[in-house]
Amino acid sequence: MSSFPWLTTMGVVPLVGSALVATLPKERSAAAKKIALTFSVATFGVAALMATQFKKGGSRFQFTESHQWIKAFNINYGLGVDGIALVLILMTTVLMPVVMLAAWNDADEAQADGRRSVRAYFALYLLLETMMIGVFAATDLFLFYVFFEAMLIPMYFLIGGFGGPQRSYAAVKFLLYSLFGGLFMLAALIGLYVASGKHLGTGTFDFNTLANAVASGQLGISPGLSKALFLGFFVAFAVKAPLFPFHTWLPDAAAEATPGSAVLLVGVLDKVGTFGMLRYCLELFPGASKFFTPMVIGMAIVGTLYGALLAIGQTDIKRLIAYTSISHFGLITLGVFAMTSAGQSGASLYMVNHGLSTGALFIVAGFLISRRGSQLIDDYGGVNKVAPKLAGVFLIAGLSSLALPGLSSFVSEFLVLVGTFERYKAVAIVATCAIILAALYVLWLYQRTMTGPLKAGLEGMKDLRAREVVAVAPLIALIIGLGFYPKPILDVVNPSVKTTLQHVQKQDPAPALNAQTSEKVDSK
Amino acid sequence: MSVLTSLLAASPGDPTNPGGGLGGATSTVTNTFTAPHVEYRALMPMLVVFGAATVGILIEAFLPRTRRYWPQVGVSLAGVVVAFCFVVANHGMAETTAADAVSVDGVTLFLQGTILLLALLALLLVAERGTGLVDLDAFTAQGATTPGSGGERAADAAGLRTTEVFPLMLFSVGGMLLFPAANDLLTSFVALEVLSLPLYLLCGLARRRRLLSQEAAMKYFLLGAFSSAFFLYGVALLYGYAGSVRLSDIATAITSSPHSDVLVLAGVALLAVGLLFKVGAVPFHAWTPDVYQGAPTPITAFMAAATKVAAFGALLRITYVALPGLRWDWRPVLWGVAILTMLVGAILAITQRDIKRMLAYSAILNAGYILLGVISTTSKGVSSTLFYLAAYGFATIGAFAVVTLVRESVRGGSDSGDGGEEDSVTVGGEATDLSAWAGLGRRSPLLAACFTVFMLAFAGIPLTSGFTGKFALFTAAIDGGAWPLVIVGVIASAAAAFFYVRVIVLMYFSEPLREQGAGPIVVVPSPMTTVALTVTVALTIALGVLPQMALDLADKAAYFVQ
């Protein structure tokens, strides 16, 4: 079974679906939706089947495939997943059918307008899924970059073609920010390739070869160059994640995109940023990563608080959720750069949980907005009187977002804070404040929209339809399930984190009594 | 106009060598009187193209006006295809011939092949006359008539066609084939003139906005003549220094001559002016936007793609064969030129409102990128330059082909002759103002998709030829230690992405201008433009997804003979 090309299959299934949907005749828009959903469920099936074959104690990268692609630059079509990539791919494939169900009627309005077709909407979703699987599965840096950039194109059309009134502006801002970051990464990528050619004889893009050469000291890039290359990669990931101060595109993009696109944007696309920091920045440039840690931690902590504070002040529901995400991405980055196993395991878990809880929040917000046609918080109030199910789901998603114990985000946030506390006590304490702010923005949002007297115009509001219930049910189940039992994910993630830390040559600080001395040693 | 026509009459005279009896034209520099040995096989591509051009002239002279079009198209296409076959048959050749005036090596053959393919595609655009419904002739009915005069109207009414464009283009192609192959500076100069003079004329033959077109031709001619003079002066100084115009002799003289360097440095500087002008590098770029805008669009496509290939070929040969000894002197200068070219191209392109002018600044920007390959002075640098020239050329022809299809609609009376009538709306000239492109994606999704592919390629998005090319160039540059240039290149790319993406935004996300009855229309071309578009789109994607074959070819071709 090991030779079966799982990852290629998983990428090809949505690609075929995308082509099929795109070529359907115009009258068959309804069929397009069903075909797209079928293909996304099939993709999830492949992913789930593959996950059962993943050996926890096995080699780091599994299901590897490698074929020569461009010989002139020693570029391979190299795929493979470690634990972190595996859970992120699983999350992607779970979110996709959910998003499609939730976004079932999103594009109808655009079609009626004559702007875009339903077929294009769903074909772009499937195309995006291929790219997202590819970006997590690539083990060749060049291939990773190709997916990293190419996935911008479908997302760009999704925002620009189907979003709100300012969609064109938001789409361009999104694309230009991302391209700008990506180009720096391209320069660093080429620099790394040339350096590897000088030190290893032949230049290579293979992540394993590079990471091992770095860890064994064979690839002795000079510290100055290493720092420059680190920054090239880091800027790209910081824009993508997005980290303060590169975050300004996200609120626009998320607020203008349809709720479904916003879920994929914030839930999956942005994870590539934190995923990239964890895998590529840390392992390829361990020395530079340590050097820049104070700066990154500073950005992360500022982003955490800044995002949370701005979220409180928002008047637009989707913008509010976008700012909460900026806050959460700050925490994830904190966990990654704390360089402790608890922090990084927590960060990896957080990536999944954030995708689930923010995804649920965006989807339910989308349901709400589709009923009233407004994104303004002021237009809502007392919704739980007319739509109790909707309000209930919204509350669960919100509570998970503020990391209530028993819901999934709690475990990951706790791990991140513990991991940070082991090394940077003050930072952890400040970061904890963000949790209080989180309670403020979530509960206040809930209070303003769902409780209190019913706002005029909401009287006839329908509760969740069967389709909508089916769409959010898996997310809610996962949020609660992983809240109580995160072990399956942590088991898969932990070995990868361990390897990463070994490559960075960092050990967890000794606990308890030696805490103070070890901190002194580290601070040197 | 009369000046230009007399130039036309003069230009074919010197370089054409129909059949035998050549030799004398290119061997003026040798001291002995023994007849030089001529390896005809190596020269066949050029001979075939010049021969076809001459046949074209005979067709002009002897066939009646109405029956010239198809023979001209046939002869030109056949000439280019046969010449290409000879280039393919010559692969692997490495020799100098015709008294060492022409060197046929990997670089020459690769570039000649590229030029011929580009010329073939451009010919298809030039030959476009529309279907029965719409007239898409890009060229004026009679170049000699004054714009707006009675003579012009009469020529239009008579349905005259300018078929001289075919032989003119072939002469230009012949010059382009010789330019990168020229092994001594005099041959270079002759090639430069042969490729330029027909182009000056072709620029002035647009059917619409003729004054703009003639202005462009005049500008191009005057500035081009100046730059040629600089080039020639440089040749003279280098001859004074080295006592020879052969590239390899100059290279030897540079390393061994006891004379002061002033002469050689001045000579090289003047030579560089001439070459950088043709390439369109800053600060010799000022003509580009005006000429690209005014010239008939098929000619712009041809010029933007093929001239760049030929001129960069000559630049490569002169810097790599004649001037390696002066590397430390010319490299810093080219560094400056490359940085300026990239920045000026990217920044000024942002401010453009006209699609052809935008593409002109994009051409300047790309010239800056290609200079990175020239500067790196490694064989990787050569091969990446070769690949990028091909990738850029195809995308450029494709992009201009799209421009030819987006037309203004004129309600009521037509402005020129026999334009087809569709719901009392006549197809006008090209709608080159960017605002006219708004909403193109909705009305003509396929065409917009094609243009999107080219824009993404120019912006360097992965899985397009532009990305592979940029990747190869940047790798070669970093390898050669030019990482600051790569940083500038990356910043310029980011700025460039803005204006490429802006066109995509316009096409897909903006409301079309339907009001005022003058909204643009997309015309359905004859199979010729369709073929050119299909081929360029396919190549742009193929060179991005599976570039290995082309990269190998460029790698193998990266050698010079002296």
Q: What pLDDT, on a 0 to 100 scale, did the predictor assign at position A41?
A: 92
CB of A22 within 8 Å of any CB in chain B? no
SS3 label, residue A79: strand
- Alpha carbon distance A154, A48 (integer Å): 25
Please check whether residue A268 lies inside any domain of the structure: yes
CB of B479 within 8 Å of any CB in chain A? yes
Helices (H) and strands (E) in chain B, counts: 22, 6
Under DSSP, the state recorded for B91 is: T
Q: Residue B87 pLDDT more than 90? A: yes
Question: Residue A165 class from Cβ within 10 Å (0-12 exposed, 13-18 middle, 19+ buried)?
Answer: exposed
Residue with tokens 């420059």: A228
Interface with chain A: mutation pick from B485, B509, B545, highest number of A CBs within 10 Å: B509
What letter represents residue B173's amino acid? Answer: V
Please check whether residue A1 lies inside any domain of the structure: no
Q: What pLDDT, on a 0 to 100 scale, did the predictor assign at position B5?
A: 41
Helix, strand, coil percentages (3-state) for chain B, rounded to 5, are 70, 5, 25
Helices (H) and strands (E) in chain A, counts: 24, 2
SS3 label, residue B525: coil
CA dihedral (B139, B140, B141, B142) positive or negative? negative
Q: Residue B330 pLDDT more than 70? A: yes
| Separation in Å, CA of B467 to nearest CA in chain A | 10
B-proximal residues of A, 142-161, CB under 8 Å: 145-146, 149-150, 153, 157, 160-161
- Alpha carbon distance B96, B38 (integer Å): 9
Q: What pLDDT, on a 0 to 100 scale, did the predictor assign at position B15?
A: 43
Of the ranges A219-233, B216-230, B293-307, B514-528, which one carries the lowest mean pLDDT score? B514-528
The Cα angle at residue A132 between residues A128 and A137, in degrees rounded to 5: 145
Per the structure, the count of domains in chain A is 1
Tell me the Ramachandran region of residue B145: left when phi exceeds 0, alpha when psi lies from -120 to 50, beta otherwise: beta
Q: Shortest CA distance to B390 belongs to which of B113, B6, B4, B197?
A: B113
User: pLDDT-derived band of residue B481, with 50, 70 and 90 as boundaries?
Assistant: confident
Q: Residue B25 pLDDT more than 80? A: no
pLDDT in tens, B419-447: 444 445 677 788 888 888 888 887 888 89
Q: What pLDDT, on a 0 to 100 scale, did the predictor assign at position A133?
A: 92
- Alpha carbon distance B314, B102 (integer Å): 12
**Which of B471, B472, B501 minimises the CB distance to A175?**
B501
CA dihedral (B462, B466, B469, B470) positive or negative? negative
Q: What pLDDT, on a 0 to 100 scale, did the predictor assign at position A160?
A: 84
The Cα angle at residue B259 between residues B255 and B261, in degrees rounded to 5: 70
Residue with tokens 């805490």: A515
CB contact under 8 A, A180 and B497: yes
CB of B456 within 8 Å of any CB in chain A? yes
DSSP string, A477-490: HHHHHHHH--HHHH
Question: Tens-of-pLDDT digits for all 524 residues of chain A?
Answer: 457 888 898 889 999 999 988 888 877 778 888 888 999 999 999 999 988 888 887 788 888 888 888 888 888 888 988 889 999 999 999 999 999 888 888 777 666 665 567 888 888 999 999 999 999 999 999 999 999 988 988 998 888 888 778 888 888 889 888 888 888 899 899 989 988 888 888 888 988 888 888 888 888 788 888 899 999 999 999 998 888 888 888 988 888 888 888 999 988 999 999 999 988 988 888 888 889 999 999 999 999 999 999 999 888 988 999 999 999 999 999 999 988 888 999 999 999 999 999 999 999 998 888 888 888 888 888 888 888 888 899 999 999 888 888 888 888 999 999 999 988 889 899 988 888 898 899 999 998 888 888 888 777 788 888 888 888 899 999 999 988 898 888 888 888 888 888 888 777 776 554 444 444 444 44
Question: Residue A28 class from Cβ within 10 Å (0-12 exposed, 13-18 middle, 19+ buried)?
Answer: middle
Helix, strand, coil percentages (3-state) for chain A, rounded to 5, are 75, 5, 20
CB of B555 within 8 Å of any CB in chain A? yes
B-proximal residues of A, 24-53, CB under 8 Å: none
- Alpha carbon distance A51, A67 (integer Å): 23
- Alpha carbon distance B155, A199 (integer Å): 70
Q: Residue B13 corresponds to which tokens in the numbers above?
A: 């005279």
CB of B494 within 8 Å of any CB in chain A? yes
CB of B511 within 8 Å of any CB in chain A? no
Q: What pLDDT, on a 0 to 100 scale, did the predictor assign at position B10?
A: 41
Partners of B426 in the β-ladder: B410, B421
Rg of chain B on CA atoms, in Å? 23
Task: List CB contacts (< 8 A) between B501 and chain A.
Answer: 172, 175-176, 179
- Alpha carbon distance B190, B29 (integer Å): 13
CB of B505 within 8 Å of any CB in chain A? yes
Please check whether residue A298 lies inside any domain of the structure: yes
Task: List CB contacts (< 8 A) between A187 and chain B.
Answer: 474, 486-487, 490
Question: Residue A460 class from Cβ within 10 Å (0-12 exposed, 13-18 middle, 19+ buried)?
Answer: exposed
Range of the domain at A463: 6-523
Residue with tokens 């890009």: B138
pLDDT in tens, B232-276: 999 999 999 988 999 999 999 888 877 778 889 999 999 999 999
B384-395 burial, b for 16+ CB within 10 Å, e for fewer?
Answer: bbbbbbbbbbbb
What are the angstrom distances between the C-alpha of B454 and each of A31, A40, B373, B459, B537?
A: 32, 31, 22, 9, 7
Q: Shortest CA distance to A323 belongs to which of A399, A224, A437?
A: A437
CB contact under 8 A, B459 and A179: yes
| Separation in Å, CA of A284 to nearest CA in chain B | 19
Comparison of pLDDT for B16 and A404, the residue scoring more: A404
User: pLDDT-derived band of residue B30, with 50, 70 and 90 as boundaries?
Assistant: low
Please check whether residue A457 lies inside any domain of the structure: yes
- Alpha carbon distance A163, A301 (integer Å): 31
| Separation in Å, CA of B455 to nearest CA in chain A | 12
Q: What are phi and psi of A205, to 5 degrees?
A: -115, 0
**B425-430, strands of its sheet edge to edge:** B421-422, B425-430, B406-411, B521-522
Q: Shortest CA distance to B424 belongs to which of B438, B414, B415, B436?
A: B414
CB of B379 within 8 Å of any CB in chain A? no
What letter represents residue A60's amino acid? Answer: R
Q: Residue B165 pLDDT more than 90? A: yes
Q: What pLDDT, on a 0 to 100 scale, did the predictor assign at position B439?
A: 81
What are the angstrom distances between the C-alpha of A330 and each of A300, A313, A415, A433?
A: 4, 18, 14, 13
Interface with chain B: mutation pick from A68, A117, A131, A190, highest number of B CBs within 10 Å: A190
**Which of B442, B474, B493 minimises the CB distance to A190?**
B474
Q: What pLDDT, on a 0 to 100 scale, did the predictor assign at position B509?
A: 78
CB B524 within 8 A of CB B134: yes
Beta strand extents in A288-383 (DSSP E only): none
Q: Within 10 A of A516 (CB to CB), how many other CB atoms are there?
A: 8
The secondary element (H helix, E strand) that includes residue B406 is strand B406-411
CB A497 within 8 A of CB A344: yes
Please check whether residue A140 lies inside any domain of the structure: yes
Residue with tokens 């402790």: A340
CB of B443 within 8 Å of any CB in chain A? no
Beta strand extents in A24-176 (DSSP E only): 62-70, 75-81
Q: Within 10 A of A397 (CB to CB), how many other CB atoms are there?
A: 26
- Alpha carbon distance B156, A300 (integer Å): 70
DSSP string, A389-429: HHHHHHHHHHHHHTT-TTSHHHHHHHHHHHHHHHH-HHHHH
| Measured torsion, CA atoms of residues A310, A316, A321, A322, in degrees rounded to the nearest 10 | -70
What are the angstrom distances between the C-alpha of A91 and each of A87, A304, B343?
A: 6, 23, 43
Q: Residue B204 corresponds to which tokens in the numbers above?
A: 């002035």
Size of interface A-B (CB pairs under 8 A): 83
Mean pLDDT, rounded, for B79-90: 95
Q: What pLDDT, on a 0 to 100 scale, did the predictor assign at position A113?
A: 62
Q: What pLDDT, on a 0 to 100 scale, did the predictor assign at position A114?
A: 59
- Per the document, the length of chain B is 562
Q: Within 10 A of B16 (CB to CB), how many other CB atoms are there?
A: 18
SS3 label, residue A336: helix
Q: Within 10 A of A495 (CB to CB), how many other CB atoms are there?
A: 17
CB contact under 8 A, B509 and A179: no
Q: Shortest CA distance to A42 belongs to which of A86, A105, A100?
A: A100
Please check whether residue A412 lies inside any domain of the structure: yes
Please check whether residue A367 lies inside any domain of the structure: yes
**Which of B459, B463, B505 minimises the CB distance to A168?**
B505
Task: List CB contacts (< 8 A) between B483 and chain A.
Answer: 191
Q: What pLDDT, on a 0 to 100 scale, did the predictor assign at position B515?
A: 54
- Alpha carbon distance A278, A82 (integer Å): 12
Q: How far is CA A468 from the centre of its chain?
A: 23
CB contact under 8 A, A176 and B494: yes
**Which of B442, B462, B502 minimises the CB distance to A150?**
B462
Of the ranges A391-400, B70-79, B106-115, which one carries the lowest mean pLDDT score? A391-400
